[in-house]
Amino acid sequence: MKLENARVLLTGANGGIGHEVATALMDAGASVLLVGRSATRLSAQCQALQSKTKPARVQWHDAELDDLVSIANLSRAAADWNCNVVVHGAGVASFGRLESVAPADMHQLLSVNLLAPMVLTQALLPHLRRLPRAQVVCIGSVVGAMGLPGYSVYGASKAGLRGFAQALRRELADSSVKVQYLGPRSTRTAFNSGAARAYADATNTASDTPAVVAQALLEMVRHETAERFLGFPEKLAVRINGLASTLLDGAFAPHRKHLQAASGAAPLEPATSNTPTHTTVP
């Protein structure tokens, strides 16, 4: 799709990646409906973007993506706005050994990272099917395709999102709606906790800037690429894991050892629920 013809619903617009994606889309000629939790932050972001272009090209809508009524309201607003591209960029983070993650936080993470994109896409499909061309882009993560220690919960949500995108892409193959999956590697944003950053440093994990992810997303919209992962050796690891996942088990020994050292040898007690904020996936 030509970006000047794109009317993009962008969830997670306030996040590090989301903010960069919104700016890149606007610079490329697209119109954007910014979606996030904070009306105050969305309004300020919208005003900043409107100051550089025609105000009608950027609007905002606050939504709670773990609430079905809020998602339904968002879908109606997006259809009324005549969106033709949906970018699922919102997410919540989880890092650490499984014993450290509170069940309530697992539930909330899966609701936002996996269930919300499924429900929002379902609600918008009747509208999208009526258009001559439409796209649904799921921003996932490489950890959803290669099982990285410390990301069992977060990785599960992104693996599920990838499975959803893959199956729906095939389900809609004879329609005007294209479904795509973008898998960034570690990205330098505030999404990552201090513990996650220390883990990345200790294991020599490479990372990208949000601008790299934003440009990759723009290319996917332009070329309607079905699936893309970012970074090397991450791309290779995804391929190997897809063919023979046990071959990678030994490669993650440094990651496992760092987790053990950081948390202590004894199993961690379950954490109390501390609901994370919505942002954009790394």
pLDDT over 70 percentage in the chain: 94
What H or E segment, with its residue span, contains residue 11? strand 7-11
Helix ranges restricted to H, the chain: 16-27, 39-50, 68-80, 103-110, 116-129, 143-146, 152-171, 194-202, 210-223, 234-244, 253-263
Report the domain count for the chain: 1
* CATH number of the domain that residue 28 is part of: 3.40.50.720
Quick check: 275 pLDDT over 80? no
Question: What pLDDT score was predicted for residue 281?
Answer: 43
Tokens (6 digits) for 123: 């609600």
Residue 233: cis peptide before it, omega within 30 degrees of 0: yes
User: Alpha-carbon Rg of the chain, whole angstroms?
Assistant: 18
Find the domain containing 97 and state its range.
Answer: 3-280
Mean pLDDT, rounded, for 186-210:
86
Question: What pLDDT score was predicted for residue 186?
Answer: 87
Mean pLDDT, rounded, for 192-203:
84
Write the pLDDT tens digit of every residue in 99-114: 999 999 999 999 999 9
What is the DSSP track for 80-107?
A: HTT--EEEE-EE----S-GGGS-HHHHH
CA distance 132 to 134: 7
Write the pLDDT tens digit of every residue in 207-235: 889 999 999 999 999 999 999 999 998 88
Comparing 274 with 124, the larger pLDDT belongs to: 124
